[in-house]
Structure 1
Amino acid sequence: MSFGDSNNPYGQPPQQPPGQPGQPGQGPGYGYPQQEQAGYGYPQQAPQGVPQQGQDPYGYPQHGQQQPYGAYPQQPGTLQANNGYINVPGLGTVEVATMGRRLGARLIDGVAVGVIVGIIMAVGLAGAVGVVKDCDPASVDYSSCVNDASAGFVTVMFTWLAVIAGFTLLYEWLMVSLVGATFGKMAVGLRVVKESTGGNPGLGAGFIRYIIPMVGAFLCYIGALLVYLSPFFDNSGKLQGWHDRAAGTLVVKK
C-alpha cells in the first residue's frame, strides 16, 4: 500500500531544495536559519542604553568632537576650548572679561574717583591756607603763629589725605565685595565673581583683591601697575591677575 507519491517509494515527504528564496526559516544555500549580523548587508540596531560608536557612555564628547556650550557638565573654572568662555558654578558658561574692557572700567573709575578726590583736596587745602591767614604779621607772636599754623596745615593735609584713602578704599572694596562691580565696571558690562561659587566676592575676598595693588602703589605706583597688568601673564586663559588669584575671583562679562 502506498502512503505517498508513487515516485516516492519510502513514503517520506518531499524535501524542498535548499536555498529557495521565500521559504521561512531557511537561509541561502544550506537550509540553516539566517542570522541578521552586521557586516553582511543587514542593518543591526543597537540596544537602548548602549552608546554608539564615537559616543562616550557618560555623555562627554570624544576626541575631535565638539559639543555646544552647556551640553554636558564641567568642573568649576573649566575653560571651554580655550576660547574665552568659562564654566562658573551658579552662572553656567560666561565670557571672561577682556583686558580692553577692564582698562576701560579702570579709566572710568579713575575719572569718577579723581573728581571726588579733587573736590576733597580743594576743601582741605582751603582750610589749611585759612589757618595760616589767621596770623597777623604786625603781631609780636607772628613767628609763633606761623609755626603753629604750619603744623596745623600739615595736620589738615594729612587728615584730608586719610579721608581720600578711606574713600577710595570704601569705594573699591565695598562696591566689588557687595555688588560685584564698581561704576566703571557697570558701565562696560563687567562683574567680579567668586570663582568657586559665581556669587559676589564678599568682604574678605574683596579686601584682598583691593589691598594687593595698593601695597604695590607704595613703590612709586610701579607695583600697582604690575598687578593690574598681571592678567597678561596668566597662561591659564582665565585672565586672572595676581590680586584675583589671591582672592579667588574672576572678572567676567555680565
Structure 2
Amino acid sequence: MTGLHRPDLEFAQVGDRPGVLLATMGGRLGARLIDLLIVFVPSYFPIRVFVEGTLTHALILLVTIALYEAITTARTGTSPGKRLVRIKIVRIRTGAPPGWGMALLRAVIMALSGWVISAVVAFFDERRHRGLHDRVSGTVVIAG
C-alpha cells in the first residue's frame, strides 16, 4: 500500500536518526493478521468450551490479544507477526523498543479504541502512519 502515501513522507526522524523508513500499511496489516491467528487459533476453542456467553468470549479474547501484544513487543519492539514482515515498534524520541509501560499502554489503547479506529487514524496520518495507540504511547512502527 506504499502507493497511497507520498514517497517523500515515508521516512521519519526517530531519536537522533533522520530518514528512518516507516512500515507500510500493508506490512502492519499483515503482521496484525499473523499475530491474531497466533492468538486466536489456540485460544478460541478452550474459551468456547469452558466459558459461557458471547460477550465473555469476546472480552477474554480481547484481553488475551492485548496481553500478547504487550508481552511480545515490550523488550524488542517485535511480535512473531512483526518479525515475519520485518517491522518493529520503537519510541519516536529515542528509537528504543517501547518498554513494558508503553507496550502495555499501546496494547490497552488499541484494545479499547478498536483496531479499526486506530487503523483509520494511521491511514490518514500520511506523515508517520501512526495510529491512535502509537500517538498516545509515543511510538512509531518502522521497517527493519
1:207 matched to which residue of 2? 104
CA separation of 1:124 and 1:91: change in aligned 2, threshold 3 A: farther
More strand, by proportion = 2
CA separation of 1:90 and 1:119: change in aligned 2, threshold 3 A: farther
Query: Aligned-pair distance for 1:100?
Result: 0.7
Query: Any residues of structure 2 matched to 1:35-114 within 5 Å, and which?
Result: 82-89=8-15, 93-114=19-40
1:96 and 1:162 mapped to 2: Cα distance? 32
Corresponding letter in the other structure for 1:206 = A
Query: Aligned-pair distance for 1:166?
Result: 4.4
CA separation of 1:124 and 1:103: change in aligned 2, threshold 3 A: same
More helix, by proportion = 2
Of the three residues 182, 188, 192, the one matched with 2:89 is 192
Secondary structure at 2:96's aligned position in 1? coil
Quick one: higher RCO (CA 8 Å, sep 6+), 1 or 2?
2
1:7 matched to which residue of 2? none
Query: Any residues of structure 2 matched to 1:1-254 within 5 Å, and which?
Result: 82-89=8-15, 93-124=19-50, 164-217=61-114, 224-235=115-126, 237-254=127-144
Q: Is the 8 A contact 1:180 1:201 kept in 2?
A: yes
1:169 and 1:162 mapped to 2: Cα distance? 11
- Please, which runs of 5 or more residues in structure 1 have no aligned partner? 1-80, 126-152, 218-223
Q: Is the 8 A contact 1:193 1:249 kept in 2?
A: yes
Query: Aligned-pair distance for 1:162?
Result: 6.7
Corresponding letter in the other structure for 2:50 = G
CA separation of 1:162 and 1:107: change in aligned 2, threshold 3 A: closer
CA separation of 1:178 and 1:123: change in aligned 2, threshold 3 A: farther
Q: Is the 8 A contact 1:174 1:203 kept in 2?
A: yes
Query: Aligned-pair distance for 1:113?
Result: 1.2
TM norm structure 1: 0.48
Corresponding letter in the other structure for 1:203 = W
TM norm structure 2: 0.80
Corresponding letter in the other structure for 2:102 = A
Q: Deviations over 1:92-150 (max 9, x none)?
A: 5421011011111111112111112224225526xxxxxxxxxxxxxxxxxxxxxxxxx
Q: Is the 8 A contact 1:213 1:228 kept in 2?
A: no
Query: Aligned-pair distance for 1:165?
Result: 4.6
Q: Percent of counterpart pairs with the same letter? A: 31
User: Which one has a bigger Cα radius of gyration?
Assistant: 1
Corresponding letter in the other structure for 1:252 = I
